[in-house]
Structure 1
Amino acid sequence: MSEYKYAFLEPGHYARGWHIVLFSSELAPGEVKALHYFDREFVAWRSESGAVSVLDAYCPHLGAHLASDGGRVNGERIACPFHGWSFDRAGHCVEIPYARKIPERARHALKGWPVMERNGFIALWYSEDASEPQDYIPAIEDWGPAGWGDWQFQRSRIRAQPCDVIENIVDIAHFPHVHGGNVRAFENRFGDVTVTQVSKVQRDPESGMITPPGLDFNLVEARNQGAGMEADAWGDATYHGPSIMYYYTESRSPEISFKSWWVNYHTPVNDQELDLCSAVIMSSLDDTALPEEFTRLYPSVAHAAFGQDVAIWQDKVYRADPILCDGDGPITKLRRWYERFYLPIG
């Protein structure tokens, strides 16, 4: 029996599922990027036709990194910058420019990882048991240039564990202390690979709140101004799998009516670090164009709201056996749900 109460606390183990590694806008045709996640090196590249691939980073020949010197994309192949060995999108060696025959052992020596490009982001399927990917990431209707536009995102790397982050989805009690609002309605719904929070939170000048460092606007002032507006607003946040959260919100008021999608994700770098990202798109709820000042400020406020949680996550420790009270959300239930992404299938 493991010495750890939960499988997700065991060092060197990472959640099975989809994990965002890039936004589509960060990888142009012919471009190559080095990635470091799950304590291993990857190379992400987009072929000239636009298809995205993620492979293990080191050439099976003499170990060169395929992203060295910017990488070498040739059509639908990537070539090692050291000796020119070429690999297809699945990682198969398909050409050695100076050899008459490709060694049999080289044909399947480079691991290719399942990749999904959807809604303007690129996700990698990580699994330690070679399980087949599940298609559980929903498409966002009308995403793209003709509808919502592209993501405005902010990414940071912090010292934290994935379990620190995902528990936020059930943590009702932190709103008046971290986010400066009073909870008017709150419900959690659990599915096989989803957990949802449906909430109404009213901004309250009397509540406490965290102000993340480095903001170029006054977050307290923005909260207090919003507290004085009569708005009918609601939000629905859902984790799809272990690391990708969609948040959809609508707000209607005499001043402005809008809808917005947020994508918040956390991707483990190693046992001690995560990449955290908050991304936002928005649109008017009617035919009235959103004010320019609002479209400029709203993403900053959204990123700051995520940053309020980050200020806690990066300094906390994880309690495997916490002292809970009757006002806490279903934290233990969430942990049991989250455990499934670390346990063997079946």
Structure 2
Amino acid sequence: MSTDTSSGSKYAYLEAGRYARGWHIVLFSSELVHGEMKSFHYFDHEFVAWRGASGEAFVLDAYCPHLGAHLASDGGRICGDAIACPFHGWVFQGSGECTEIPYAKQIPPRAKHALKSWPVTERNGFIAIWYCPEDSAPLDYLPAIDDWGADNWGDWQFQRSRIRAKPCDVIENIVDIAHFPHVHGGKVQSFENHFGDVTVTQISKVKRDPEAGMITPPGLPFDLVDARNQGAGMEADAWGDATYHGPSIMYYYTESRSPDISFKSWWVNYHTPVNDSEVDLCSAVIMSSLTDDPLPEEFTRLYPSVAHAAFGQDVLIWQDKMYREDPILCDGDGPINKLRRWYERFYLPA
């Protein structure tokens, strides 16, 4: 992965070591049970997360300010809503404040706020942290998904992959109308984009087309081309509304009606940067029937794989492509430059 310039970048989001200001998903709620600690590495930075006795999730920098132990070593130590360093027992609150050193008479002043606490939001069954180089106050722009947790919807079924790509490659898909008949095997029936301050939306209808090109990711539990071709002659009445809320979290709602299966589904797709060249790409799905009949078990088992396969088709392009800062565009392309200007705001000072 590279850009097509060797000197200064046209866009701030291409500068090394810069990451988008905003909410980024780091875990699903089901991955952090009561009394459990997890470590993760994003933004070229090491974090530790835990769920305390109150049920609240906390995230701190991972290394103890004393002698540098990783706070999650040996599974970590949770004390109520606080954590204790497994090396010497220093206790830290979720705010990052050291409140106890078991062998000291007093806490050194520098230790009281030596660990950075990261703002956390937990909603819709996922845990996100607010990343901002300038430490600006978090914005509350992630809407609730009312269907999550409701009867007959179930919990998120998700697949996460660490891939070689830049965040800007991923987010441009929201406006790229022209790649559907070459990558995803579909013919676009309708397509429109809407831009807000912190949102960009795609409303589209795409028909499966046996004559269209299609990329087939390896290792799928089903034949993607065969599934496309079998369904092409009995098209469902389907539509979808995909919206990025901020720089990295997309909600996608879709409904599909056919003689065989009628269902509605929410996807949460996110890409969280690991470093300058890798992101964690994840598709998570909940679904429910649009009729009184329950969805077939095989369908509910395979449908999440379809969600991840859709991104998997793009991954095979992203991993080899060059990012063109000044591309030659034509009148059939979507609003790519408008998207880039919108996206740039998350990399500039608040």
Bin for the TM-score computed over the shorter chain: over 0.9
Residue 149 (structure 2) aligns with: 144
Q: Tell me whether 1:185 sits opposite 2:195 in the alignment.
A: no
Once the two structures are superposed, what CA deviation does each residue of 1:163-195 show, in whole Å capped at 9, x if it has no partner?
Answer: 011000000000001100000000000000000
Inter-partner Cα distance in structure 2 for 1:217 and 1:256? 18
Residue from 220, 230, 239 that aligns with 2:235: 230
Quote how far apart the aligned CAs of 1:145 are.
6.0
Residue from 58, 61, 80 that aligns with 1:75: 80
Residue 53 (structure 1) aligns with: 58
> Larger RCO: Structure 1 or Structure 2 (Cα < 8 Å, ≥ 6 residues apart)?
2
Residues 210 and 228 in structure 2, CA contact (< 8 A), matched pair in contact too: yes
Aligned to 1:192, the other structure's residue is in SS state coil
Inter-partner Cα distance in structure 1 for 2:272 and 2:184? 23
Aligned to 1:139, the other structure's residue is in SS state coil
Residue from 318, 324, 336 that aligns with 1:313: 318
Residue 170 (structure 2) aligns with: 165
Q: Which amino acid is 1:102 matched to?
A: I
Q: Tell me whether 1:15 sits opposite 2:20 in the alignment.
A: yes
Residue 4 (structure 2) aligns with: none
Quote how far apart the aligned CAs of 1:224 are.
1.2
Residues 207 and 235 in structure 2, CA contact (< 8 A), matched pair in contact too: no
Residue from 12, 27, 41 that aligns with 2:32: 27
Matches within 5 A, 1:236-275: 236-275=241-280
Quote how far apart the aligned CAs of 1:147 are.
4.4
Residue 46 (structure 2) aligns with: 41
Residue from 119, 124, 133 that aligns with 1:119: 124
Residue 323 (structure 1) aligns with: 328
Kindly report the root-mean-square deviation, in angstroms, between the aligned alpha carbons of the 2 structures: 1.1
Once the two structures are superposed, what CA deviation does each residue of 1:229-262 show, in whole Å capped at 9, x if it has no partner?
Answer: 2321100000000000111100111211100011
Residue from 286, 298, 307 that aligns with 2:303: 298
Q: Which amino acid is 1:224 matched to?
A: N
List alignment gaps of at least 5 residues for structure 1: none
Inter-partner Cα distance in structure 1 for 2:225 and 2:309? 11
Quote how far apart the aligned CAs of 1:48 are.
2.1
Inter-partner Cα distance in structure 1 for 2:276 and 2:147? 37
Residue 201 (structure 1) aligns with: 206
Quote how far apart the aligned CAs of 1:49 are.
2.0
Inter-partner Cα distance in structure 2 for 1:28 and 1:180? 40
Residue 225 (structure 2) aligns with: 220
* Cα distance change, pair 230–4 in 1 and its aligned pair in 2 (3 A): closer
Residue from 6, 9, 13 that aligns with 2:11: 6
Aligned to 1:113, the other structure's residue is in SS state coil
Q: Tell me whether 1:103 sits opposite 2:108 in the alignment.
A: yes
List alignment gaps of at least 5 residues for structure 2: 1-6
TM-score, length basis structure 2:
0.96
TM-score, length basis structure 1:
0.98
Quote how far apart the aligned CAs of 1:216 are.
1.6
Once the two structures are superposed, what CA deviation does each residue of 1:84-130 show, in whole Å capped at 9, x if it has no partner?
Answer: 00011111101111111111110011000000111111101000011
Aligned to 2:133, the other structure's residue is in SS state coil
Number of aligned residue pairs: give it.
344
Inter-partner Cα distance in structure 2 for 1:73 and 1:317? 45
Moved more, 142-151 or 234-243: 142-151
Aligned to 1:89, the other structure's residue is in SS state coil
Aligned to 1:122, the other structure's residue is in SS state strand
Inter-partner Cα distance in structure 1 for 2:267 and 2:18? 28
Once the two structures are superposed, what CA deviation does each residue of 1:60-105 show, in whole Å capped at 9, x if it has no partner?
Answer: 1111000111110111110000000001111110111111111111
Identity of aligned residues (%): 81
Residue 135 (structure 1) aligns with: 140
Inter-partner Cα distance in structure 2 for 1:288 and 1:231? 17
Once the two structures are superposed, what CA deviation does each residue of 1:269-302 show, in whole Å capped at 9, x if it has no partner?
Answer: 1111111111111101121111112112211112
